[in-house]
Structure 1
Amino acid sequence: MATNEKQKTLVNPQHQPTVAALLSIIPGLGQLYNKRFVKGASLFILFAAFAIVMFNFISSGLVGLVTLGEIPREHDSRVFLSEGILSLIFLAFFLTIYYLNIMDAYKDAKRIQLGWTVPNIREGFKNAWDTSFPYILISPGLFLLIFVVVFPLLFMVFLAFTNYSLYNAPPRHLLSWVGFENFIRLFSIQEWRTAFVNVLSWTLIWTFVATSLQIALALFLAIIVNDKRIKFKKLIRTVFILPWAVPAFVTIIIFSALFNDNFGAINLQIIEPLFNTRIPWLQNAFWTKVALIMIQVWLGFPFVFALFTGVLQSISSDWYEAADIDGANRWQKFKNITFPHVMFATAPLLIMQYSFNFNNFNIIYLFNQGGPAVRGQTAGGTDILISWIYGLTFDNQQYNMAAAISIILGLMVATFAFFQFRRTRSFKEEGNF
């Protein structure tokens, strides 16, 4: 009974969506079946032109991606790898449009079944333009994203599964696929495992301590400056934001001179007169880490201070007046009013601060190039993962190991950011606040 009622609603039951979809296996035929003649002819010509022009490139690229070359000194495996990745991108693009072509024919046939009238050429162009206009606007950015971001990332990911190193560099040698061997080496060989554990542990300590201190200092200063008893607030805020106005690399280079063991002002003018000794800021890994954390707190707190200052000014004074009437002390007002509001408004940006410091290459490299050196290891005493990857790539030419570590680094940052953003209250519905 229900089937009969459904069939009565079909104005044109002889027109079958399944037939249109099957005909669209050859692009354009399904549209011709739906009497979309201009659209069908255009799709057939576009797909045919793409297949004729790109078939040889895609097929040879995919073969080269498997073999990575066959003749040493003549074939460059890096070129084969690049062409193979481009072939995968073009093939993915082709398959996506091919799938959309089938779905378009199926949906049009479904609408024709229900009585939809096929528009004329003018209406068809107008409808197509209205539908595709947003995609036309974003297409330049999408293509730029694919070839500037996605392509290099895929190249790096593929390198992690090859044997590309200083002693096996093309075109003199051909690369070969080694599977997960690089990841196994990272955790099974003593030298690599020790270096990875040391660098990862320092990266986590660096990220948590430096970022938390800069946030705590910024919140402390913002609360003090926001106090009604403080005068010259504009001047104080301007002074606190000045470190943010100076380019970071300039500040880091200045601090590297100030912390110099031999002629730095911190040793000569402060430490030695007071304690009759000199601290080996650049020669001892522990003191280098202390200096790096202090510098990062100096560089990072102005931005967070500006955020907190704006949020504190937006909190209604009625909340604090109600708390005073209830007899709340300063700590209770901070715990129940100030801190929740500040965190709710700035939590996503604070998470970005942790992610930024996790990959903060500039300060590590410019201050002491990740040193001091550690005997028997490819990583310096203050290298974090990103600076270690840089050293492996440009100093040691261990491209395969650098790519493997980069994948692990990317997964760690993405996982942390994803779960933290999901837990952030500012991303939930207002009713859950």
Structure 2
Amino acid sequence: MNRTPTIAGWLSALFMGLGQWYNRQYAKAVLFMAVYATGLYVAFAVLPPYLKGLISLGDKGVHLEKVGKISRLVPGDHSIFMMINGVLALLVLLVIVFLYVLNIRDAVTVGRRRTQGQDSSKLNNGLFPWLLLAIPFLGVLFFTVMPIVFTSLIAFTNYSSPNHIPAKNLVDWVGFSTFHNLFNMTGWSDTFVGVLTWTIIWAILATVTCYFGGILVALLISQQGVKFKGFWRTLFIIPYAIPQFVSLLIMRNMLNEQFGPINQYFRAFGLGGLPWLNDPFWAKVSVIVVNMWIGIPVTMVLVMGILTTIPRDLYEAADVDGASQWMKFRNITMPFILFATAPILISQFVGNINNFNVIYLLTGGGPATVNYNNAGETDLLVTWLFKLTIDFKQYNIAAAVAILIFLFIATAAILLFRRTKSYQEEDMIQ
């Protein structure tokens, strides 16, 4: 039995690069040795203070010290900066460990190929893809993973106003206390349940109305007797072409209870105006209708493209069998549309759960209510999270809500997507 892979693996485990040197890959060996030497210095000389700070989150904040008869302000530990630096240090340590494992795996793999008689010069090509992927990998790690980890850790601290805001005050680890308060303290739990309920209702209604509204408009435009199809397509796509925040701010002014044009038209005909954005019921109706105005064109464009791909033979066969328009829609048109748009439908549902723009720009989460803690009647979880962070500085509660949003969306998206026919057929093909 050839021992080359085993020897190369143990040499790389002893010191990064030795296995590559044993495999006669000298350039790669020097690179791994340099990385290992740098990694050892960073791991034992640079990172320990930051990792210790991540555990302790500081010993003393900004404070006054008396020197003689003079008191001076002395800088202290900043818990949040220490947490950020600690998370970065932890990620750097994980990168070093990853490179160490990669070095062993590479040495063993190349050793096995050598035993098979492959040319040593060709074995060096395996490093090139890793070098190309290194920059995007590090970018994702430090600009995507790091903020997610940092936000998640905030949920396990008492980082909130007024008593635990650095730099004057320190932040402490509190375990699952934040989640306990969110689910058990009346003020927080009632708000969370109420906002979550409206978020789910909103996501379902916003998705269903835009989806089936888009299908209806696409079918109407695609009818053979309809003239000027290009004009109608252009007309319905204009709301989507205009920047969303512009449309929402215009609609907010139009729905103003006192000065909005819509209520002025009502009054001109002798009708009383409606509190579109000031009444809980009408505010919810308003955001759903305005969202339809913005979202229907997206589905319409998708469906119109799908309708052109449905074989005409199916409709001709249905006509021969005497099928009605409803039967053709139910058995031919709708299955084709669902098969092609089911993943997009799920994406729209997930997007509506986090639809910050429509709610925040149209109602600001209002109208206000005394039943909720720092939230309004139309606030979604994402807008409530924004208020908790920006307006009220309840960072730990906001982080806990963010984790729950992620878990809910990820679970719902995975379960719904796996039940779609397009996913099941793709899985069968593979």
TM-score, normalization by structure 2: 0.91
Displacement after TM superposition at 1:117 (Å): 5.7
Displacement after TM superposition at 1:274 (Å): 5.2
Given candidates 181, 195, 209, the residue that maps to 1:213 is: 209
Distance 1:38 1:136, change over 3 A: closer
User: What is the CA–CA distance in structure 1 between the aligned matches of 2:118 and 2:209, rounded to whole Å?
Assistant: 66
Given candidates 215, 219, 233, the residue that maps to 1:237 is: 233
Using the aligned pairs only, state the percent identity.
39
One-letter identity of the residue aligned with 2:301 = A
Displacement after TM superposition at 1:348 (Å): 1.4
Structure 2 residue matching 1:314: 3-state secondary structure: coil
Bigger mean CA offset, 52-61 vs 245-254:
52-61
Residue equivalent to 1:92: 94
User: What is the CA–CA distance in structure 1 between the aligned matches of 2:336 and 2:374, rounded to whole Å?
Assistant: 45
- Does the 8 Å CA contact 1:35/1:118 hold for their aligned counterparts? no
User: What is the CA–CA distance in structure 1 between the aligned matches of 2:32 and 2:128, rounded to whole Å?
Assistant: 18
User: What is the CA–CA distance in structure 2 between the aligned matches of 1:275 and 1:213, rounded to whole Å?
Assistant: 31
Distance 1:68 1:336, change over 3 A: same
Q: Is 1:321 aligned to residue 316 of structure 2?
A: yes
Correspondence list, 1:200-349, <5 A: 200-270=196-266, 272-273=267-268, 276-349=271-344
Displacement after TM superposition at 1:230 (Å): 1.0
Q: Is 1:61 aligned to residue 50 of structure 2?
A: yes
Q: Is 1:105 aligned to residue 107 of structure 2?
A: yes
Structure 1 residue matching 2:308: 3-state secondary structure: helix
Residue equivalent to 2:165: 169
Residue equivalent to 1:399: 395
User: What is the CA–CA distance in structure 1 between the aligned matches of 2:133 and 2:24, rounded to whole Å?
Assistant: 30
Bigger mean CA offset, 132-141 vs 214-223:
132-141
Displacement after TM superposition at 1:149 (Å): 1.6
- Does the 8 Å CA contact 2:43/2:93 hold for their aligned counterparts? no
Residue equivalent to 1:424: 420
One-letter identity of the residue aligned with 1:93 = V
Distance 1:214 1:118, change over 3 A: closer
- Does the 8 Å CA contact 1:36/1:118 hold for their aligned counterparts? no
Displacement after TM superposition at 1:228 (Å): 0.9
Given candidates 142, 148, 152, the residue that maps to 1:147 is: 142
Residue equivalent to 2:151: 156
Structure 1 residue matching 2:117: 3-state secondary structure: coil
One-letter identity of the residue aligned with 2:262 = I
Residue equivalent to 2:5: 17
User: What is the CA–CA distance in structure 2 between the aligned matches of 1:372 and 1:432, rounded to whole Å?
Assistant: 50
Q: List runs of 5+ in structure 2 lacking aligned partners.
A: 63-75
Q: Is 1:31 aligned to residue 31 of structure 2?
A: no
User: What is the CA–CA distance in structure 1 between the aligned matches of 2:16 and 2:427, rounded to whole Å?
Assistant: 49
Displacement after TM superposition at 1:291 (Å): 0.4
Bigger mean CA offset, 49-58 vs 203-212:
49-58
One-letter identity of the residue aligned with 2:218 = A
Structure 2 residue matching 1:283: 3-state secondary structure: coil
Q: Is 1:72 aligned to residue 73 of structure 2?
A: no
CA RMSD of aligned residues (A): 1.9
Displacement after TM superposition at 1:268 (Å): 1.7
Distance 1:53 1:62, change over 3 A: closer
User: What is the CA–CA distance in structure 2 between the aligned matches of 1:135 and 1:351, rounded to whole Å?
Assistant: 34
Structure 2 residue matching 1:263: 3-state secondary structure: coil
User: What is the CA–CA distance in structure 2 between the aligned matches of 1:305 and 1:118, rounded to whole Å?
Assistant: 57
User: What is the CA–CA distance in structure 2 between the aligned matches of 1:304 and 1:188, rounded to whole Å?
Assistant: 41
User: What is the CA–CA distance in structure 2 between the aligned matches of 1:174 and 1:40, rounded to whole Å?
Assistant: 46
Displacement after TM superposition at 1:102 (Å): 1.2
Distance 1:404 1:363, change over 3 A: same
Given candidates 27, 32, 35, the residue that maps to 1:43 is: 32
Residue equivalent to 1:82: 84
Structure 1 residue matching 2:97: 3-state secondary structure: helix
Encode CA deviations 1:153-193: one digit per residue, 9 max, x unaligned. 11111101110011210111111111111011000000101
Distance 1:38 1:276, change over 3 A: closer
Residue equivalent to 1:3: none
Displacement after TM superposition at 1:414 (Å): 1.2
User: What is the CA–CA distance in structure 2 between the aligned matches of 1:117 and 1:286, rounded to whole Å?
Assistant: 73
TM-score, normalization by structure 1: 0.91
